[in-house]
Amino acid sequence: MERIKTLLLMLLIAAASYGQTAQQVLDKTASVVSNKSGASASFTIKGGNLSTSGTIAIKGKKFQATTPQATIWFDGKTQWTYMKKNDEVNVANPTDAELAAINPYNFIYMYKNGYDYAMKKKGQNYEIHLTTKQKKSVSEMYIIINQKTYTPSQIRLKQQKAWTTIDIKNFKKVSLSDGTFRFNAKDFPTAEVIDLR
C-alpha cells in the first residue's frame, strides 16, 4: 500500500512539473524568437484554399512577410499588404486572429492568455498542444519546437474548424531596422493605396 502511495505521489509530481515544463519551453521559445535585434526564416503555409511559401523577418511584434503573391508589413499596429497581381496596397489594423493566420510567430504572444498546455517529446522535438479556455478565434494549436535550439519548426492552428499548417525553416538571428516593417510608397510608385482602417 505504501508503495502505491509513493508511486501516485511521484506521478502527481511528474504531472505537475510536466505542465510547468510546457510553459517554460514556450517562454524560452518566445525569448529566442522575439530576439531584440530581429530574426528571419522561410515558411510554407497550407490550409483551406491557401498554399504558399515565402520568407519572414520579425522583430518583437513587428514582421515583414514576402510570398510570390504578396508582401506584408506590420509595424506593431498597422498592416500594409501589397498584392502584386493588382499593384495595390491595402492598409488595415489587423485582429489577433488575422495576425495568427499570416504571421507564423504570432503564437509567442497568444499562448500567454487563455490557453491550457499539454506537452510530449517527439524525437528531438517538443510537441506542445494548446487548447483555449474560452471562446477565441484560434481554438487549438500544435507547436513543434526543437529541444536544443528552442526554435519552432511547425505550427498547426485551428480556426473555425479549419486547420492551417505552417512549416518553418532556416531560422536565424539578424539585425533589422524598424523601417523593414513599414511600407515605403517610394518603392511602389504605381501602386494604388486602399485604406481599410
Cα separation, 42 vs 166, whole angstroms: 10
Q: In one letter, which amino acid is 183?
A: F
In terms of C-beta distances under 8 Å and separation of at least 24 residues, what long-range contacts does 18-21 make, across chains too? Answer: 18/119, 19/117, 19/118, 19/119, 21/119
Q: Which helix (H) or strand (E) holds 98?
A: helix 96-102
Neighbours of 127 (CB within 10 A): 17
pLDDT in tens, 143-183: 999 999 999 999 898 888 889 898 999 999 899 999 999 99
- Decide: 159 and 139 in contact? Cβ < 8 Å: yes
Q: Is the pTM of this model over 0.85?
A: no
State the cell numbers at 141.
494549436
Cell numbers that stand for 167 in this block: 512549416
Q: Would the pLDDT of 115 be above 70?
A: yes
The residue ranking higher by pLDDT, 45 or 107, is 45
Cell 487548447, residue located? 131
Q: What is the DSSP string of 21-83?
A: HHHHHHHHHHHHHT-SS-EEEEEEEEETTEEEEEEEEEETTEEEEE-SSEEEEE-SS-EEEEE
Is it the case that residue 1 has pLDDT exceeding 60?
no
DSSP-assigned letter for residue 179: G
Q: Which residues pair with 73 in a beta bridge?
A: 64, 80
DSSP 17: H
Q: With 70 as the cut, is the pLDDT of residue 124 above it?
A: yes
* Band of pLDDT at residue 7, cut at 50, 70 and 90: very low
What confidence tier does 14 reach under pLDDT thresholds 50, 70, 90?
Answer: very low
